[in-house]
Amino acid sequence: MVSSGCDRSQALLSEPTITAKLAASRSVPAHSVATDELTVRGLTGVDMTLTVAGPGTRSYAFVVDWHIRVLGVLAWVLLGAMLRQMFPVSAGGKLTSNPIMLALMVGAGLTYFLYHPVLELAMRGRTPGKRIAGVRIVTVEGEMPGAGALLTRNLFRLIDSLPSFYLLGLVCCFVTRQSVRIGDMAGGTLLVLEAEDSASSLGRLSALLERSSLPPETLKLVQDLLARWKALQKPQRLILARTLLARIEPQRDAAALAALDEASLRALLENHVAR
Amino acid sequence: MPADSNAAAWIKARAPAWQALAAEAASAPKRSRATPDEALRTMQTYRTLARNLASARQLLPDSFLTTALEKAYATLHMAIGRPPRFGRARLLTLFRDDIPAAAASVRVTTLWIAALLVVSTFAGWWLVTTYPALVSIIASDRMIDGVEHRHLWTDQLFSVAPPGFLSARIFSNNVVVTLGAFCSGILFGLGTFYMISFNGLMLGGLLAFTHQFGLAHGLIRFILAHGPVELSVICLAGAAGTALGESLIRPRLASRAESLRRRSAELGPLLIACALLLFGSGLIEGFISPNPRFSIPFRLAVGLGYWTLMLLLLSGRLFPTKIFRTASMSSASSARLSSR
C-alpha cells in the first residue's frame, strides 16, 4: 500500500495537479459559485478583480434574510399575544384602539419592510444573510455604496418582486451579465463575493513567508494540506504529503519517504512551515 | 533561476512590511471615523499595496501571494471609497440643492402628468356618469352600498380607527402608490402612465358616483385638506417615473444601464421629498380630513398652506442659500475629510 502511494506521488509531482486535487477535496459551498468578474481600476491605476455573486448566492442570502425577517415579525406577534393577555382589549373595543397593540403592529410591519434598507445602510452594504452567504453590495466602481444607491436598489424591490416571489428579479439575475436585478441596475450596485479574511490571510501568509524558506505557492499548499489534514481521507492525505515532500526535498529518497508514517510526514511538513 | 531568486529575495525583503500593511487593511474598513493621521496612513498603505501588487503580478503571476495582496488592496479600495456619513451638511445639501434640482429637471413632465391626471379624471367622471354600472370596478360593494344609502365611506373613518393608525395606514398606502408610479417608469414609462391614468379614473369615477347621490361635496370636503399635496406628489412621482422611462428610451449616456443609473441617482432626492410630503399628508388625512369638526375654510387653508410649503420645498426657497451655504460647505468638507 505504501509503495503504491509513493509511485502515485511521483506521478502527481506537478503542482497544478496537487492544487486541483486539493481543490477537489475541498467541499465547495454553494455561495462560492460565481458567474462573472468585475475588474475595477484603483485610484493608483492598479486594477483589481472582484468576483460577482451569481443568482444562487443571491438567493441563498435572500432566503437567510427572509427567515430572519419572518422570525422578527413572529417575535413581535408573540410579544403582542403576551401583552394582550396582560392588558385585555375591552369588550367591543377594536384591536387598533389599544396603543400597545398598535405599536406592535407597526413594529412588525417596519421589521418586515425596512429590514433590508435599514440594515444595508447600517452595515454598509451587508445584511446578516449576505454576511452568511459571504457577499456584499458594492458600486460598479468597486466602492462601498452610499445611502442613495442603497435606498434606490431597495425601492425597486417593488418591481423586482413582481408578479410574486421575486420572479422578475430572479429572471433578471439569470439573464444579466453581472447577475443583477432591476434595483441594482437603477442603484448602480452589484453583489460581489467578499474577501472577508483578505487582510488577515495576507498577514498570515507574509508571516509564514518571513519564517519559511519555501516559495509562496508551495508554502500555501503545505499550509492548506495541514489545515485540512483531518478532513482528508487517510490515503489521500498521505499521498499528498509525500508528493509535497518529494517536491520540497528532492534529495530525499523516494523509498525512505514511502516508509514514513503519518505522524512523521505531518511533522516534516510542519517543520517546513515553521522554518 | 534569476527570476525565482529575484522573487524569493523580494518576498523575504517585503514580508515584514506586509504584516503591517495587512494589519492596516484589516482595521481601516472597521473605523467609523478616522483622524487625519489615520486617513493618511490608510492612503499610504493603499499606495504601498498597489506598488507591491504590481510587482507581485510581474514576479509571481497567478500566485497565492498575488491573490492575497489583491484582496487586501480591494478591501482597502472599498474602505477608501466609502461615502461620507449622512450628516447635517449632507441633509442641508439635500434640501437646499438636490431636491430643487431634481424637481426642476422634471418640471415640464410634471405638468404633462398633471394634465394626464386631469384628463383621466374627466374620463372617469364621464364613464361612470354614462355607464353607472362601471363604478363596481373601482369601488367595493360596501362603499357602493353606503353611498346608495347616502353615507360616504369617509364619514365613519374617524370612529373606525384612531387617527394615528389611520395616518400610518394612509401614509403607507400613499407611499406604495407613489413609489409604484416611480418604479413602474422602468417599463419605458408605460407603467407610470397606467398608474396615473388609473388613479385619475378612480378619482373621477368616485366623484361622479357620489355626485349622483348628492354626496360629491362631502367627498370634496374630505379631500380638500390633504388632496392638493397628495395629488401633486403623485404627479411628481409620475413625472420622475416618466423621466426614468425616458432615460431608457433616449439614453443620454453611453449605455441605457448607465443612463438609468444616473437618472435614478438624480431623481432619488425628489422621492425623499415625496415621502416626507406624504407623511405630512397622511397626518392631515388621519387627523383633520375625517374629523367633521373642521370647517371648509379651515380645510382650505390647511390644503393651500401645505401646498405652498411643498412649492417652497421643491423650489429650494425653504432653505435660503445665503444663510446655509457657508455653514454647510465648511461642515461638508470637514465631514468628507473625517470620512476619508
What is each CA distance from A149 to A68, A74, B4, in whole angstroms?
23, 30, 46
Return the H-helix or E-strand segment holding A53: strand A47-53
Chain B environment of A201 (Cβ under 8 Å): 68, 71
In the predicted model, is pLDDT for residue A170 greater than 80?
A: yes
Model pLDDT, residue B339: 45
The string of DSSP letters for A121-179 reads: HHTTS--HHHHHHTEEEEETTSSPP-HHHHHHHHHTHHHHTTTTTTHHHHHHHHHSTT-
In the predicted model, is pLDDT for residue A186 greater than 70?
A: yes
Chain B environment of A145 (Cβ under 8 Å): 83
Tell me the angle at which helices A216-227 and A262-274 cross, rounded to the nearest 10 degrees.
140
Partner B, chain A 102-131, Cβ-Cβ below 8 Å: 102, 106, 109, 124
Determine contact, residues B125/B202, Cβ cutoff 8 Å.
Answer: no
Phi, psi dihedral angles at B162 (to 5 degrees): -65, 150
Partner B, chain A 44-73, Cβ-Cβ below 8 Å: 44-46, 48-50
Model pLDDT, residue A93: 56
Radius of gyration of chain A (CA): 27
Query: Across the interface, which of B46, B72, B264 has its CB nearest the CB of A44?
Result: B46
For residue range A19-58, what is the model confidence (pLDDT) as tens digits?
Answer: 444 444 443 333 344 458 889 888 899 999 899 999 999 9
Best of A95, A111, A206 to mutate (most B CBs within 10 Å, chain B): A206
For residue range B93-132, what is the model confidence (pLDDT) as tens digits?
Answer: 899 999 999 999 999 999 999 999 999 999 999 999 999 9
For residue range A238-263, what is the model confidence (pLDDT) as tens digits?
Answer: 999 999 888 888 888 888 888 888 99
Model pLDDT, residue A98: 67
Nearest alpha carbon to residue A69 among A97, A34, A108, A102: A108
> Is B251 in the A-facing interface, judged by CB distances under 8 Å?
no
Model pLDDT, residue A1: 35
Chain A environment of B77 (Cβ under 8 Å): 40, 42-43, 48, 142-143
Angle at B316 between CA B315 and CA B321, to 5 degrees: 145
For residue range B228-283, what is the model confidence (pLDDT) as tens digits?
Answer: 999 999 999 999 999 999 999 999 888 898 999 999 999 999 999 999 999 999 99
Query: Across the interface, which of A124, A152, A217 has its CB nearest the CB of B64?
Result: A217
Q: Which of A61-65, A271-275, B336-340 has the highest mean pLDDT?
A: A61-65
Kindly report the nearest CA distance between residue B214 and chain A, in angstroms: 32
Verify whether the Cβ–Cβ distance A94 to B160 is below 8 Å. Answer: yes
Chain B environment of A210 (Cβ under 8 Å): 12, 15-16, 19
Give, as one character, the DSSP assignment of residue A260: -
State the Cα–Cα distance between residues A234 and A242, nearest whole angstrom: 12
Verify whether the Cβ–Cβ distance B186 to A182 is below 8 Å. Answer: yes
Model pLDDT, residue A253: 83
For residue range A73-130, what is the model confidence (pLDDT) as tens digits?
Answer: 999 888 888 887 877 766 555 555 666 777 787 888 888 889 999 999 998 889 999 9
Tell me the angle at which helices B163-183 and B256-287 cross, rounded to the nearest 10 degrees.
160
**Between these two residues, B44 and B155, which has the higher pLDDT value?**
B44
> Is A210 in the B-facing interface, judged by CB distances under 8 Å?
yes
In the predicted model, is pLDDT for residue A5 greater than 60?
A: no
Nearest chain B residue to A224 by CA: give it.
Answer: B64
Kindly report the nearest CA distance between residue A184 and chain B, in angstroms: 9
Give, as one character, the DSSP assignment of residue A228: T
Best of B31, B44, B65, B170 to mutate (most A CBs within 10 Å, chain A): B65
Chain A environment of B253 (Cβ under 8 Å): none
Verify whether the Cβ–Cβ distance B161 to A198 is below 8 Å. Answer: no
Angle at A113 between CA A110 and CA A115, to 5 degrees: 85
Determine contact, residues A106/B172, Cβ cutoff 8 Å.
Answer: no
State the Cα–Cα distance between residues B7 and A272, nearest whole angstrom: 19
For residue range A187-212, what is the model confidence (pLDDT) as tens digits?
Answer: 999 999 986 566 667 777 777 777 77
> Is A273 in the B-facing interface, judged by CB distances under 8 Å?
no
In the predicted model, is pLDDT for residue B211 greater than 90?
A: yes
Best of A48, A196, A275 to mutate (most B CBs within 10 Å, chain B): A48
Determine contact, residues B278/B174, Cβ cutoff 8 Å.
Answer: yes
Contacts of B62 (CB under 8 A, 6+ apart): none
For residue range A214-224, what is the model confidence (pLDDT) as tens digits?
Answer: 777 788 788 88
In the predicted model, is pLDDT for residue B2 greater than 60?
A: no
Partner B, chain A 174-203, Cβ-Cβ below 8 Å: 182, 185-188, 195, 198-203
Report the complex ipTM.
0.83
Query: Across the interface, which of A102, A201, A210 has its CB nearest the CB of B164?
Result: A102
Chain A environment of B162 (Cβ under 8 Å): 96-97, 102
Determine contact, residues B216/B207, Cβ cutoff 8 Å.
Answer: yes
Chain A environment of B16 (Cβ under 8 Å): 206, 210
Determine contact, residues B42/A199, Cβ cutoff 8 Å.
Answer: no
Position B157 confidence tier, pLDDT thresholds 50, 70, 90: low
